[in-house]
Amino acid sequence: MDFFSIAILGVYILLSLALLISLVRVIVGPTLPDRVVALDLIAFIVISFIAAYSISSGHPVYLDVAIVMALIAFLGTIAFARYVIQYSNKTKSEGGHV
């Protein structure tokens, strides 16, 4: 095995570990914003998997897929942020706690 293969294997292992930790945060996350941030992190970890595969396979066409997924993840994050703001405003107006 050459250094490149070992490095790619290390990247896959570390990304898998990060994905597992993020999934735990989505499931256990005590608040809604924690879960939203964890979902956003999962999206960008998947994008990182695609980019690492693109580099290891030598097919740069997968980078286009990663860019499109990044744009969709960004829009999803904005939508979640608006939902969290509306939820917190609604809770404050009703006199409850977030």
Neighbouring residues of 60: CB distance < 8 A, sequence distance ≥ 6: 54
- Total domains in the fold of the chain: 1
Which of the pair, 77 or 9, is modelled with greater confidence?
9
* Structural domain range at position 49: 3-94
Q: How confident is the model at residue 97 (pLDDT cuts 50, 70, 90)?
A: low
- Note whether 8 and 17 are within 8 A (CB): no
Q: What are phi and psi of 96, to 5 degrees?
A: -95, -175
CA distance 65 to 53: 12
> pLDDT-based confidence at 69, cuts 50/70/90?
very high
Is 44 a residue whose pLDDT tops 60?
A: yes
Report CA torsion sign: 25, 28, 31, 36.
positive
Q: For residues 24-28, give the mean pLDDT.
A: 94
